A and B are shown apart, each in its own frame.
Chain A
């Protein structure tokens, strides 16, 4: 089926350290998968962090990057130097070309310590 698997949380890192949150997907019924990272900051609603709809392309936002790798079916989220304000829950999501159905990963709670 169609599904997303991401790094089990919680994850704790120190400020200025690098971060990678793994995400792999299975898209058996989606011809052209689109990939997303959503984020929920404390006290806020779920919001889009970045999206990539073409295999091989990279998306970036707020210092985060993710590359859509069709060969490895991965869409890992990376940041070279995290800040305390990056503490949040991050969700990887998979959609089809019409986006009417999104499949989310289980979420990864990130805590950045000062």
Chain B
């Protein structure tokens, strides 16, 4: 069975500090990977997607970047956090080809102070 793990579970960071959030999928080869963000009370927005190692497409610009260093790993990062980055970050995967639903991780709660 496939499992998706996100780390950390929660993070409190200062404005201007760097950030790195991670996501790992086990049990599935070459999945499509996705990052989502939801501000408190806001809509769940897709940020990035990746269909293969080393390739990432941006969907929404939020002064964040994403990378896929390994087949099963997706990283979300920024060098300087903004207050507006606070929220809930979700990683998701779907089978190759994308013609299936997306499966979501447990999420990371980020608070920027």
Contact = CB atoms under 8 A, between A and B. Distances in A.
Question: Is chain B a partner of chain A in the same complex?
Answer: yes
Contact of A36 (B45, B51, B101, B107): B101
Interface stretch (B66-74, B79-87, B92-100): B92-100
Contacts, number: 49
Interface string A38-58: 100000011110010000000
Interface in A18-54: 36, 38, 45-48, 51
Using C-beta atoms within 8 Å of the partner chain, give the interface range for chain B: 20 to 34
Contact of A99 (B36, B102, B106): B102
A8 to B, nearest CB: 11
B90 A101 contact: no
Interface in B37-51: 42-46, 49, 51
Contacts of B7: none
Contacts of A107: 43-44
Contact of B98 (A46, A100, A104, A105): A100
Nearest to B105: A45
B32 to A, nearest CB: 7
B104 A99 contact: no
B104 A102 contact: no
A102 B92 CA distance: 11
A98 B98 contact: yes
Contacts of A75: none
B43 A105 contact: yes
B32 A45 contact: no
A87 to B, nearest CB: 19
14 contacts: A36-B101, A38-B104, A45-B105, A45-B106, A46-B90, A51-B101, A98-B98, A98-B99, A99-B99, A99-B101, A99-B102, A100-B57, A104-B45, A105-B43
Interface of B: 32, 34, 36, 42-46, 49, 51, 57, 59, 90, 94, 97-107
Given A46-B104, A100-B57, 10 more contacts: A45-B104, A45-B106, A46-B90, A48-B103, A98-B97, A98-B99, A100-B51, A102-B46, A103-B46, A104-B36
